[in-house]
Amino acid sequence: MKNILYLCLLFIIACTSTESPKESKTANKPYNIIFIMSDDHAEKAISAYDKSLINTPNIDRIANEGILFKNSFVTNSICAPARAVLLTGKYSHLNGLRDNRDRFDGSQLTFPKLLQEAGYQTSIVGKWHLKTEPTGFDYWNILIGQGEYYNPRMIDNGDTISHTGYTSTVITDLALDQLKQQDPDKPFCMLYHHKAPHRNWMPDSKHFDLFTEDLPIPENFWDNYENRQAAEEQDQSIVNMYMGGDMKLQPEHYEGYDYGTGGGPPQFDMEKSWLNNSYGRLTDEQKELWDAHYDPIGEDFKKRQLQGKELAEWKYQRYMKDYLRSVYSVDENIGRVLDYLDENGLAENTLVVYTSDQGFYLGEHGWYDKRFMYEESLSMPLVARLPGVIPSNQTNEDIVLNLDFAPTILDFAGIDAPSEFQGESLRSVMEGNTPNNWRKAMYYHYYEYPHGWHKIKQHYGVRTDRFKLIHFYNDIDTWELYDLQEDPTEMNNLINSSDHQDLIEELKLEIQNLRKSLDYKEV
Ligand code: CA
């Protein structure tokens, strides 16, 4: 109510002001917000973080004109749960969405509902993936489930509509249309959510020619998982990727080869799904361009008859090239949105955030996918810009979480976060003034086992600036400790190290304290 009164007051001031309308609008209007989230985008695949794989000038632009977070983490590294944390500002055990099988309870309090109450125009365009209809949005236009890379079907405020074209571009076209249609006198918050670069990495045909050179293979690609049982028993190794769905080969090209387990449940037929639902949904024109690129790769593969180590490394190159091409389209389309803000005088008054629902493995430990509390999937890229408020060219190393998004967005909108939100506003951190009592440790919890994909054991743990302690449970009972300073790629489990036993006890206590503070019933 206070906020509505505030907005009314601003309106009266704006109407009676002697300043030109343009000046008063900029000076008084609450900030707009564009929250960009992609899917499964590893930090390493953004040049602002790491220049070894790809150039992403548009995401880099947000970072350069604002802040880049180096220690930004998710509380549960998997798609739908991360999205529920974003909306509710609560951990999975409280928002009810522990894994991709659960449905989101849209009746609970979310930050878009509070923005709506305060007079914001709220919208979400692109990936949603929460099974129930969006609540708290004036406009929603979402992909069905995981969504498709080409010619996506989308639900526009309840109506299913089939689009033609490449999904990253289709989503951006719809987002720009919505920005154009909004009431320019009211602030807005748009969640602009890409499907890419989620598996199965189908690039836009105009990017097929990128990344022709082979990419560097991570040092620990041939990890033997010594002393790490959960890592050994996963099913997310690149060597087992699907020949069709992941490698984009046609059946005649991989005759005599295993199709690959691909991490899926046994009843899931990826071979059929790929041919009918993914490749199968391309238009004749799209298929022609597709085949012109992938058929020669398939013919070459058939001729070479690779096996063992050579086959695994070939699969890595195939995976990485399509992954990076899919990222490239996300970056290019973000550039279109940044241009729109520039051209319409909105850049100065709009908070722009870029992040991903979590990180991803790009060959580290021999893997793709996410889920584990290890660095590559625990980390999410996070950059943000608001000229004049967030100083430019900042790099920040504080521990920040996806749990913090809801209170942060509310803070920039001038709304107090409800006490049930568990995160902290990042506004002062973004402004370059981290509070002295900022968190020194974060708690993590992953649940999707034994059902679901990839056979990653349930686990929880704590990460501080230097150490990480993880407990894998359910059908195993193993602990792992890493010294991230000495062992950044987490290859050396120190759980039995005599020098670290006191530290392990301290970290176990820290886990208990964090669970208590986060309202776990069992501590
Ligand atoms: Ca994801």
CATH number at residue 485: 3.30.1120.10
Q: How far, in Å, is the centroid of ligand 1 from the Cα of 83?
A: 9
Q: What is the pLDDT of residue 18?
A: 38
E-strand stretches of 79-217: 121-126, 139-143, 153-156, 159-162, 188-193
Q: Residue 13 domain-assigned?
A: no
CA of 302 to the centre of ligand 1 (A): 32
Tokens of 118: 């305060």
- Ligand 1 centroid – CA 388 distance (Å): 32
| 253 and 355 part of one domain | no
pTM of the complete model beyond 0.85? yes
Q: Could you tell me if 164 and 43 lie in one domain?
A: yes
Whether 392 and 285 share a structural domain: no
Matching residue, tokens 């909108």:
413
41 and 169, same domain (yes or no): yes
What spacing in Å lies between the alpha carbon of 161 and ligand 1's midpoint? 24
> Quick one: pLDDT band at residue 424, thresholds 50, 70, 90?
very high
Looking at the structure, tell me whether residues 289 and 180 fall in a common domain. Answer: no
Same structural domain, 57 and 170: yes
Residue-wise pLDDT for 19-54, tens only, equals: 333 333 444 579 999 999 999 999 999 999 999 999
Distance 36 CA to ligand 1 centre (A): 13
**pLDDT, tens only, 74-114:** 999 999 999 999 999 999 999 999 999 999 999 999 999 99
pLDDT one-digit tens code per residue, 196-240: 999 999 999 999 999 999 999 999 999 999 999 999 999 999 999
CA of 343 to the centre of ligand 1 (A): 32
Question: How does pLDDT run across 341-356, given as a tens digit for each residue?
Answer: 999 999 999 999 999 9
Decide which of 300, 321, 342 is a domain's last residue.
Answer: 321
Q: Are residues 386 and 337 in the same domain?
A: yes
Percent of the chain predicted with pLDDT > 90: 93
Our count of domains for the chain comes to: 3
Tell me the CA–centroid distance for residue 27 and ligand 1, in Å: 38
Helix (H, G, I), strand (E, B) or coil at 67: strand
Q: How far is the CA of 433 from the centre of ligand 1 (A)?
A: 31
In a domain, 213, yes or no: no
Cα 486 to ligand 1 centre (Å): 29
Q: Which of 439, 467, 496 is the last residue of a domain?
A: 439
- Same domain flag for 165 and 59: yes
Q: How far is the CA of 389 from the centre of ligand 1 (A)?
A: 30
Give the distance (Å) from ligand 1 centre to CA of residue 79: 4
Q: In this structure, are 67 and 99 located in the same domain?
A: yes
CA of 184 to the centre of ligand 1 (A): 33
For residue 368, is it within any domain? yes
Computed over every residue of the chain, the mean pLDDT equals: 94
Separation of 355 CA from ligand 1 center, angstroms?
A: 11
Spacing of C-alpha 74 from chain mean position: 9
- Structural domain including 474 reads 458-517
Query: Once rounded to an integer, what is the mean pLDDT over residues 248-270?
Result: 94
Pair (154, 48) in one structural domain: yes
3-state secondary structure of 141: strand
Cα(140)–Cα(394) distance, integer angstroms: 33
Domain membership of residue 14 (yes or no) is no
Position 280 pLDDT exceeds 90 = yes
Write down the pLDDT at residue 252: 96
Q: Is residue 212 in some structural domain?
A: no
Instruction: Find tokens 């993880």 and name the residue.
Output: 470
Q: What is the pLDDT of residue 9?
A: 46
Helix (H, G, I), strand (E, B), or coil: what is residue 317?
helix
Structural domain contains residue 8:
no
Q: Of 272, 204, 287, 210, which is closest to residue 242 (Cα–Cα)?
A: 272
**Cα 59 to ligand 1 centroid, rounded to whole Å:** 18
CA–centroid distance, residue 37 to ligand 1 (Å): 10
